[in-house]
Amino acid sequence: MSNAKKIMELAEKYRDYTANNLAKMVKIPSESMQEKDVQAEVVRQMKEAGFDEVRVDGLGNVIGRIGNGKTVLAIDGHVDTVGVGNRVNWDFDPFLGEVKDGYVWGRGTIDQEGGIAASITAGRILKELGFDKDLTFYVVSSVMEEDCDGLCWKYLVEEEKLKPDFVISTEPTNLNIYRGHRGRMEIGVDFRGLSCHGSAPERGKNAAYMASRFALEIEKLNERLQPDSDNFLGKGTVTISEFKSGSPSLCAVADFVHIHLDRRLTWGETKESAVKEVEECIKLAGLKVGEDAKVTVLHYEEVAYTGLKYGMEKYFPTWKIPETEHVVQAGVKSFKELFDKDPKVDKWTFSTNGVTINGYYKIPMIGFGPGNEVYAHAPNEKIPVDDLVKASAFYAQYAYNI
């Protein structure tokens, strides 16, 4: 019997085990910085699966290890979820964690505790097969991704000194192989006006008008942005997601405006080029950079559930891996061996921990995850158990092929 067939048989054998493990996670609310209880469940599951070592780092990531080989492969999944939003939009309890009708139901099943559950099963499969390749297999249940994608891997690489040779992100890919996505950054633009009594606005300098002229230039900038040269990632985008004004009173001219920009970056666009474009929009609005308006790349810093304060600049680089690279081709090979067909090789629409894994640290990586990303952050979240089975088989087979 081929190795791939043995792996598929074991993945099917552990179908209920994987689904029930995910259901147990879903029952535990785990928004960013509130992952302590669900991480304790992840630790329990990894130990039950027979991992050689399970530990929790200073930020709260759970790191499970199998083997001690020279090549290091890490399977990453973030355990934190977004909130449930308006409960009226849910047809069931978001924390139901029920396995029914071929799905696991609840918040986090797609995005993305399903990937963690499948990865843990992959580890159990490797242990049962007596995996003896010269490879160290890690499963990382990471934290705070929804609040600041990539922060967890900044900590892992820089503080824990864990820098794998290869990484698979288990963010949902609909069981396709993904090799990149656009980057992003968060930019703040602050406008300084001059207040005066609202009965004589000509005496002041209205920051709201200044910012409004700038806003129209940002709209035009978004229309001018171009796709990458091979049109794989598509065009970058920029939009205003927040507009706040202030004045001494409601009977006074606004002397302050803060605008928050959501900038998505395609291949070839950088932090420096994006900031320069924003500054040009300030000039096109008839304003002076630094005097009338100040541009800032924003910074994130929050306290993890462990009590550690940690942060990073809110610049999350674009990344993409050529389809010919070994990290991608090992995925293609694994997929064909398991499922006897060619995979679709594509990209994510949204951002992932890949912004640091490959964007900053250039670690070769791919994405392969259960569930469809269109259901991420949406009400009535659920994931097919079939996807969990196939994903757990894929991660195990990939360990043999990389």
Amino acid letter, 305: Y
CA distance 253 to 199: 9
Does the annotation count 80 as an active-site position? yes
Amino acid letter, 260: H
Instruction: Cite the beta strand spans of 198-339 per DSSP E.
Output: 237-246, 256-265, 293-297, 299-303, 309-313, 315-316, 319-320
In which residue are the tokens 């791919």 written?
A: 366
Amino acid letter, 240: I
Does the annotation count 228 as an active-site position? no
Q: Strands 345-346 and 177-178: what pairing?
A: parallel
- The set of residues, in sequence order, having a beta carbon less than 8 Å from that of 46 and lying 6+ positions away, is 54, 62, 64, 120, 123, 139
SS3 341: coil
Cβ 126 vs Cβ 49: under 8 Å:
no
Cβ 138 vs Cβ 63: under 8 Å:
yes
One of 76, 111, 113, 145 is an active-site residue; which one? 145
Burial 314-351 (b: 16+ CB within 10 A, else e): bbbbbbbbeeeeebbbbbbbbbebbbeeebebbbbeeb
One of 80, 277, 381, 387 is an active-site residue; which one? 80
Q: Provide the annotated active-site residues.
A: 80, 145
